[in-house]
Amino acid sequence: MDWKLALSRTKNWLAAFILLIMATFVMSLSTGVMPISISEVLNTLAGSGTPRQELVLFQLRLPRMVIAMLIGAGLALSGSILQGLSRNSLADPGILGINAGAGLAVVFSIYLFGQEKGNLLSEPFFLPVFAFAGALAIAALIYRFSWKGGIDPERLLLVGLGFNALCGALLMILQLKMDPKDFQQAAIWLTGSIWGAGWPYVRALLPWILFLIPAAFYKARTMNLLQFKQEVPIALGLKVESERRLLLCLSAALAGACVAVGGGIAFIGLLAPHLARRLCGPNYFSSLPLSALIGAVLVLMADMIGKNLLAPADIPVGIVISVIGAPYLIFMLLTRKGSGISV
């Protein structure tokens, strides 16, 4: 039967991307300014490495790579939810300004409270909270202004682009009023850099991801129903507007938490859901977990490329992803046949 074939295909792709993540993870651990062979990596992980190797792996590379995977999975799910919610194949938290809203909130909190040690509000744990507030505020404004008897896909895209530009301008104003050192750090962070992220940032991001990703998977049935005309989910007892608002909050929370730690990494929420739908079809029970895996491997690979391509210089992950994502967006705009989600 067709559903059995689709299930088998999804399982195969899930297994393939899990293996790809594992292979990329090991390669990324062994490459960098200080190369470490795979055998030395395995020995160090087993507790037999030198102090220098332990420092490089456990304090520098491992937390950075864990963050890369968490951010990739979170942004991919955020984009997948937005695309299903709006039925717009171009919806992405970076393009629609949700990432910019989260970044604006974080930079504004730094501007107000500073980053001095001992300041409670400057601790990594609070960054996702500020980012979520900013992301949710922009998402709510986009939802309000794109409403026209329902969510208009084209209107949503245009409104999102407008808020993206507005947040970008406000960010620049804030940065110009900051201390030059803070300005430079904020500028690099906003390009999507996870350089220097340590275990405190992993601990700040992990609770959000561990709660929000299962919540997104739980809403797969709702996402499937929302792809039909509004009369169908209503007839099945679904509270359409309540579910849309809940999904919008879920998407904003995922994007905000990821932006707080990794900066403005765009296009993951566009690329990963599209690739997942092309590989396993539009069923959200399949496409959501596959999107998360694809997002994780994309950011992990981009981080590996960024730290090795011009070593010892470090290219921010967001720039590497943009080099891939921008041409893909142009391709989609040129080949797209309407506003709905295309498979």
For residue range 194-248, what is the model confidence (pLDDT) as tens digits? 766 788 889 889 999 999 999 999 999 999 888 887 777 778 778 888 888 899 8
Phi, psi of 151 (to 5 degrees): -75, 120
Query: Quick count: other Cβ atoms within 10 Å of Cβ 290?
Result: 24
Element (H, E) at 16: helix 2-30
pLDDT at 296 over 60: yes
pLDDT at 3 over 70: no
pLDDT at 179 over 90: no
For position 341, what pLDDT does the model report?
52
Question: Residue 252 in contact with residue 260, Cβ under 8 Å?
Answer: no
Q: Domain limits of the chain?
A: 2-335
For the residues 249-261, what does the mean pLDDT come to?
A: 91
CATH code reported for the domain at 2-335: 1.10.3470.10
Residue 234 in tokens: 């209503």
Q: Convert the pLDDT of each residue in 40-76 to its tens digit.
A: 888 888 888 788 888 888 888 899 999 999 999 999 9
- Predicted confidence band of residue 339 (pLDDT cuts 50, 70, 90): very low
DSSP conformation letters of 285-331: HHHHHHHHHHHHHHHHHHHHHHHHTTTTS---HHHHHHHHHHHHHHH
For position 13, what pLDDT does the model report?
93
pLDDT at 335 over 80: no
Q: What is the mean pLDDT of the chain?
A: 84
CB-neighbour burial class of residue 236 (10 A; exposed 0-12, middle 13-18, buried 19+): exposed
For position 34, what pLDDT does the model report?
83
Confidence (pTM): 0.90
Q: Convert the pLDDT of each residue in 301-315 to its tens digit.
A: 999 998 888 777 788
SS3 string, 93-126, reads CCCCCHHHHHHHHHHHHHHHHCCCCCCHHHCHHH
